[in-house]
Structure formats: structure tokens, C-alpha cells
Amino acid sequence: MEIIVAGPGCPRCITTENNVKKACEELGLEAKITHLTDVKLFPQLGIIFTPAVVINGQVVVSGKVPTVEELKEILSKFAK
């Protein structure tokens, strides 16, 4: 699974990245997590509001910090 956390490097985005890592850990998922900070690339991914989480090319969270619980729910859908 490929997960991209996108944000300009603000505290909210860092929390988002940590939550993603935690969610993966708790689910025991193997995922490649990248933190993208180049805002010029965001529109190509379909992101307008940050922080955003993109899983396998699909924007699943945008404009808010997702909780670990929310992420686990989303991630388990993709893991199937």
C-alpha cells in the first residue's frame, strides 16, 4: 500500500503523519508512507485542503487531522 501525507509542513500535517504511522502499526500494515511538502504537486493529486491523506492515488482525508481510529477504519478498507 502506498500512503502519501500531504501538507506544507505545519504542525497539523505532522500530527496527521504520526497518526497514519500509528494506525498502520496498530493494524500491522506494511505501507510506504511519504510526507509530501511541495504544494505545487498537490493539485495533480487532487488535493486542495491540507493536511490530506492519499492512499493508492485516492484522496481519503482532506482539510482535517484524522484520528487514529478514523484512519484505521479507512485503512482496513484498503487492506482488503
Partner 1 sequence: MIKELLMAGFLALEDYIAKHVITCLIPAFLLAGAMVTFIDKTLIIKYLGSEANRLRSFSLASISSFLLAACSCTVIPVASGLYYTGASIGVAFIILWVAPAANILALIYTGAILGTKMVLSRIVSALLMAFIVGLVMVLIFERRPKESLLKAEAGEKSIIPKKYLILIILILLSLLSPNYLVRSGPYWHKVLVWAFFTFIMVIYAFTNIPKEKINDWLRETWWFIRLIFPLLLLGVFIVGIIGKILPEEWIKTWLGGKSLSASFFATLIGAVSYFATMTEAPFVDTLMKLGMGKGPALALLLTGPGISLPNWLAIAKVFGVKKTLAYIPTVIILGTLVGWFFGNFIF
Question: Can residue 8 be called a binding residue for partner 1 (CB under 8 A)?
Answer: yes
Strand (E) positions, the chain? Answer: 2-6, 32-36, 52-55, 58-62
Known catalytic membership, residue 13? yes
Please give the size of the binding site for partner 1, defined by CB under 8 A: 19
**Closest to 3 in 3D by CA, of 24, 50, 14, 67:** 24
Of 47 and 53, nearer to partner 1 (C-beta) is 47
Cis ω on the peptide bond leading into residue 51 (within 30° of 0)?
yes
Question: Can residue 12 be called a binding residue for partner 1 (CB under 8 A)?
Answer: yes
**Closest to 45 in 3D by CA, of 64, 23, 21, 62:** 62
- Interface with partner 1 (CB under 8 A), residue from 28, 30, 32, 43: 43
Known catalytic membership, residue 10? yes
**Which positions are catalytic?**
10, 13
Give the footprint of partner 1 on this chain (CB under 8 A): 7-12, 39-40, 42-43, 47-50, 62-65, 67
